[in-house]
Chain A
Amino acid sequence: MDVRVSGVRKEFDRFPALHDVSLDINSGELIALLGPSGSGKTTLLRLIAGLETPTEGKVFFGDEDASLKSVQERNVGFVFQHYALFRHMTVIDNVSFGLKVRPGSSRPSKDEIRRRSSELLDFVQLSGLEKRYPAQLSGGQRQRVALARAMAIEPRVLLLDEPFGALDAKVRKELRRWLREIHDKTKHTTVFVTHDQDEALELADRVVVMSQGRIEQIGTPDEVYDRPNSPFVYSFIGESSSTEVQIKNGELWFDGQALGISSDRPDGEGMLYFRPHDIELIDASNRGIAGTVVASRRVGATRRIELAIAGATDHVEIEIPADHPATETSRIAFRPKHWRVFPKS
């Protein structure tokens, strides 16, 4: 089922949570809404579910205007961060709840409900735990029950709000892979919210990066990582370093010398963004960004150093090979291999 969010604005008590957000989700896609807390990602997810109503704008499921329908009628599977299981019901009763509350005409027979629920539990690898209560399950198992419960209603869209947020790191990774497998098998149109970029990049077909109630960028994991379209995306996804540069005649200048990097920006000041690991070290005599090492830390296979750079108040971070002889106070020059220049804010 295609989902289309069109010009949606949402205010809570006059405080704007989303400004004019539009988003097209293709049928069968796995989409991540990624952003820091307060970016409006959960609000957007809840608007799609119908748990919130937009102040302005519409949500379409296919060609149908879902904004006119209640949560109950939208038929969406929603998974909450803290599972929201019904604690007085067994696992199997939780899963079959959505089918049991259907009006008589569309409710499957008792046996059919039972069969389908067991099948789903099998699918989420929880068979054998039918008679348990949620309190008797681990966090990862509870979230699987929650997912099975959401899938039981044959949802048109599957929405997950920080589904792994309450789990520890190891379980999180397992479930992440497992969710991808489930999605590949069922092909549900799925939207999940996360503040964890690894999760978003690893799982999603497309990532929607959000900040302060707006969509900053929509793209495949490669696109948002390799071609961030704003300083926010650059710094939010992956590591980034930045420094001030001048733009003169279509070339970048740093500390009074041209860097040999061209730019199509108009003349003036700009911010040069690059990945700390995506640089080449050069001779200090060559044209590049030179600075004095003020701090050096070993990070796994590489060494991360902070450079004090002429004319810049903030230090610049780069990564160099662990066996590089640079020590504190030695001078190092480098040039980014990939970069982007944004206007100075």
Chain B
Amino acid sequence: MALGFTLAYLALIVLIPLTGLVLRSASLGFPGFWHVATDPRTVNALKISFGTSLIAAVINVIFGIIVAWVLVRYRFPGRRIVDAIVDLPFALPTAVAGIALTALYSKNGWIGRWLDLIGIKVAFTPIGITIALIFIGLPFVVRTVQPVMEEIRKEVEEAAATLGANRFQTITRVLLPGLQPAILTGFALAFARAVGEYGSVIFIAGNLPYVSEIAPLLIVIRLEEFDYAGATAIATIMLLISFFMLFVINLIQAWSRRRYGYGA
């Protein structure tokens, strides 16, 4: 009963729209599809989308772990407020974030003006895109790693210490490997979210074709040109790449769950 409901629900919400997408792009025929897929503009947009998403997710993993650690282990005034701030990127309309970030990082913005002095341009470059993606992805890592971290007993660290492990060894050999499944989940979520992100990026990206044009924007551009088949073709390629990456991450997780008997 529950299974039947789940399948029907998933079909309605996820599968049917996606099938529609693939079918629509199929109307191009294979040569047409191939033409869209190998178009340098498409290829560049995909490269930028997946490249910046990957970098953003990696950075989010590193700093997300640190943020989660501080929230779990440190007691300081205002901790609850900091804890709430982490969720803001979830709640904020992404366009608002995009506009704010653009204002900050543009040539005469608060931060951008200093970066400009040392010759770093952020707004309207892939760096700007990456910053926007870091912003929207952070809570995914923090919120998946945090609960698992809370479960780590202080005793495990103490056990490592009595066995002679220094702090560095305890972190790299005991704590991080124990968090690996959760970290992987956080990474996958942040990455997936970043690939699909649109609102915050288009403001800061500058959207120069071949340089800072992301795939979701290219889809919108095709739509505005009434090239529905072309739009769905790019979407289908994104779908395939994303599905493949998430599938691989899932495999790694299943493998670690089998080994440790737990996992996020």
Chain A residues near B (Cβ < 8 Å): 49-51, 71-72, 74-78, 80, 82, 84-89, 97-98, 101-102, 133, 135-136, 146, 149-150, 152-153
Contact = CB atoms under 8 A, between A and B. Distances in A.
A135 B262 contact: yes
Contacts of A50: 162
A146 B163 CA distance: 11
B262 A72 contact: no
A86 B158 CA distance: 11
Nearest to A101: B165
Given A84-B155, A86-B178, A98 B262 contact: no
A219 to B, nearest CB: 29
Given A88-B177, A88-B180, A133-B260, A98 B163 contact: yes
Contacts of A84: 153, 155-156, 158-159
B35 interface: no
B157 to A, nearest CB: 9
B260 A72 contact: no
A72 B157 CA distance: 12
A164 to B, nearest CB: 16
A274 B159 CA distance: 43
Contacts of B174: 86
Contacts of A78: 158-159, 162
B161 A149 contact: no
Nearest to B158: A51
Contacts of B262: 87, 135
A235 B260 CA distance: 46
Contacts of A76: 162
Nearest to B174: A86
CB-based closest 4 A-B pairs: A135-B261, A98-B163, A84-B155, A84-B159
A279 B234 CA distance: 93
A152 B155 CA distance: 18
B160 interface: yes
A80 B159 contact: yes
Q: Which of A84, A88, A102, A136 has the most CB of B within 10 A?
A: A88
B259 interface: yes
A72 B168 CA distance: 13
Given A87-B262, A88-B177, A133-B259, A80 B163 contact: no
A97 B162 CA distance: 11
Contact of A88 (B158, B160, B178): B178
Interface string B142-161: 00000000000101101111
Contacts of B178: 86-88
B7 to A, nearest CB: 31
A58 B68 CA distance: 37
A71 B180 contact: no
Contact of A80 (B158, B164, B180): B158
B260 A150 contact: no
Contacts of A101: 160, 163-166, 169, 173
Interface in B162-202: 162-166, 169, 173-174, 177-178, 180
24 contacts: A50-B162, A71-B158, A72-B164, A72-B165, A75-B164, A80-B158, A82-B153, A82-B155, A84-B159, A86-B156, A86-B160, A86-B178, A87-B261, A88-B178, A97-B160, A97-B163, A97-B165, A97-B173, A101-B164, A101-B166, A101-B173, A133-B259, A135-B262, A149-B163
A149 B156 CA distance: 13
Contacts of A89: 177
B260 A98 contact: no
Contacts of A146: 159
A161 B195 CA distance: 50
A87 B153 CA distance: 12
A98 B261 contact: no
Contacts of A153: 163-164
A175 B107 CA distance: 71
Given A86-B156, A86-B174, A101-B169, A133 B161 contact: no
Interface string B244-260: 00000000000000011
B119 to A, nearest CB: 44
A150 B159 CA distance: 9
Nearest to A76: B162
A217 B9 CA distance: 68
Contacts of A72: 161-162, 164-166
A150 B162 contact: yes
